[in-house]
Chains A and B, each alone.
Chain A
């Protein structure tokens, strides 16, 4: 773990030096925020990660997403829907241009939590985590330069929602957890006139994900 952190830190320094050369106008403080000692955090066994995040960042993102969209008895949340897996795969693919955004954002988040609570985000209790998320939303966190606290919050909120409600083929919305919670039946290829005019909840099965659609009838019944 510590050697991984070492190589990660040197990579970040290189990236920061590179960032200074492009005309983004953003002055990025050296990312010296990650504690050198290994962190002993317990990862829930069902959290998949590895396409992009390391174990520490995976734990942070999973915890953060859970505060954005918390689970409750009978109500699946971000962990249940595997939002972490969605974001992890997205950063390795469609959102690979946001990798540095996440690296810097997570380092700044870590610095803030260690300064304020002497603990990384994932080890704070939910009430403390909510204080942190709330401070980010308000933009009132000193440790954030680029990305700004507000931009980091907004991005994680958006990506959490994508992971809750995008088709399961993208790695989140596990077992249609998000769609079932709110009553969205997936991409149905047709609705009949009674259905579109109904005042009742729509219950016709099945809920259709991308991989099931090819076999569906296309025309209105």
Chain B
């Protein structure tokens, strides 16, 4: 049993928590970071090993000892699921992510208002909690810019202060300057996609990624080895928080990181103020931290879990839950996918940065007219390996084309011929929020600390989402056929499972009765408690990967804590 005292304690030093740790400690606050996993180094990420990192998920929480459970049907028991974005180490998911670094569109921050204006109230499903964000794109733009430049993002701007450039994404909202680094080189899959998408009349470009296309800030440029999604980068070209922001925090002299520290309770006093947290150490010890400010920044499930585990007489429904919205509005990106097989060329999908390589934005957000299509909101469409990393174990998970068996000589012959001659096109579709898609505590399954597992109750097969998936699958087929592939076929349905980029559970808003935190990720109920990460996202925004937005929002919170909260502790926005 040990006791710690600090200005700020941060639970989880990942994509969001690592940024806040650096900003607060640089501003002179004493910061204690609690991380349940280890702190690894770049030399730990060599050699690359598909079995260890992709298949056995070595950089993600083990689904047996740290399970997250899922069920499609609220009347059934949940079972542990494989998670894609969850991290298990300092730096969190930014260590093993594909490093897609998108800004969302102006429209995305006001999805409800924009939908009402363009299509009327009847376009929004009656059971959806679609809403606007409590701030605008313009409010977030300086923080996006900071994240891109401090971390290192490569891309081609499509809109600098209103000047459009068709080499970039012409649908992007105005940025005030170019990316800090030029776009990554196209690989064969990217070239195929560019040509096919242009032929079909769309606007392809190199996806912006937090992967260095050139040396930057003393770090090496990308070697195009192909081991990004699921892997740590062997030369530190991926701009993970582990190698960008944590060293800044270290240098401040005000940052202490404890690894192997599993926080299980947020402590409060009789006045309703957070006093700190309790955590189990790697030796099984039970420890406490006293802090002036408590910042929760684990992956989204653990934000909801910690709040529910921290209920007390004063907070009978869980901490920070006077609204009753903790655990609600869970969302996920749902993928539609096609595979393409080529007879006239090799694609060598195992080469090049491995997640979504080149993309189009034509069917994302509200970038196209949804009149008459029967659904709202859209998807990012990109070319990628089937498994978002191109090794043979990942690619073996693709469903074979119609008529080809899944085992035996027929499958062997298919895979032997087309492993180097295939690519996939994926549509990453925006789920609308629904209040009854939830996270709570699993009554049956516990983790290795004896805590109830977070349980997701969710079914992707809502009418709006189903219609959008079918619409997008046809677009993918159209691009696939324009590529010259000899065969184009669809992936299997996913049984309602939550796909990628889980969000929600502690949504932000302008009304304390309808949200858990304000625009600075500050709890309405407990002003010295901040809850950060994509658990606060009131909508998914669009089909874009959320990490850069998570990071920009973290910068915004950190700035508010340093410049305003520290001088006048209390609510940053009056309820």
Contacts and interface: CB of A to CB of B under 8 A. Distances in A.
Interface of A: 23, 67-70, 72, 75, 77, 94, 97, 130, 133, 137, 157, 161-162, 164-167, 170, 178-179, 181-185, 187-193, 195-202, 210, 213-214, 218-220
A200 B351 CA distance: 13
B348 A189 contact: no
Interface in B180-238: 185-188, 191, 220-221, 223-227, 234-235
Given A70-B408, A167-B51, A178-B392, A187 B227 contact: yes
24 contacts: A23-B444, A69-B407, A94-B56, A157-B406, A161-B393, A165-B396, A167-B50, A170-B51, A178-B392, A183-B346, A183-B420, A185-B350, A187-B50, A187-B227, A189-B223, A189-B234, A191-B223, A196-B185, A196-B188, A196-B351, A198-B348, A213-B47, A214-B46, A219-B220
A197 B186 contact: yes
A201 B409 CA distance: 23
Q: Which 10 A-B pairs have the closest CB atoms?
A: A190-B223, A213-B47, A199-B345, A166-B51, A187-B48, A182-B419, A196-B187, A165-B392, A183-B420, A196-B351
Contacts of A67: 407-408
A177 B409 CA distance: 16
B216 to A, nearest CB: 15
Contacts of A133: 407-408
A191 B351 contact: yes
B223 to A, nearest CB: 4
Contacts of A166: 50-51, 55, 393
Contacts of B227: 187
B409 A220 contact: no
B420 A182 contact: yes
A202 B224 contact: no
Contact of A199 (B64, B188, B351): B188
B44 interface: no
B225 A188 contact: yes
B412 interface: yes
| Consensus secondary structure, chain B interface | loop
Contact of A220 (B224, B226, B352, B391): B224
Interface in B100-131: none
A72 B416 CA distance: 12
Contacts of A179: 392
Given A70-B409, A184-B350, A187-B49, A162 B55 contact: yes
Given A75-B412, A214-B47, 9 more contacts: A23-B444, A68-B408, A162-B393, A166-B51, A170-B51, A182-B392, A192-B224, A197-B185, A213-B46
B352 to A, nearest CB: 5
A69 to B, nearest CB: 6
Contacts of A94: 56
A201 B346 contact: yes
A149 to B, nearest CB: 14
B415 interface: yes
Nearest to A202: B348
Interface string B439-464: 00000100000000000000000000
Contacts of A184: 350, 391-392, 419-420
Interface in B401-447: 406-409, 411-412, 415-416, 419-420, 444
Nearest to A167: B49
Contact of B225 (A69, A97, A162, A190): A190
Contact of B415 (A130, A182, A199): A182
B50 to A, nearest CB: 7
A195 B351 contact: yes
Contacts of B407: 67-69, 133, 137, 157
Nearest to A221: B223
A187 B346 contact: no
A148 to B, nearest CB: 14
A219 B56 CA distance: 27
Given A182-B392, A189-B234, A75 B50 contact: no
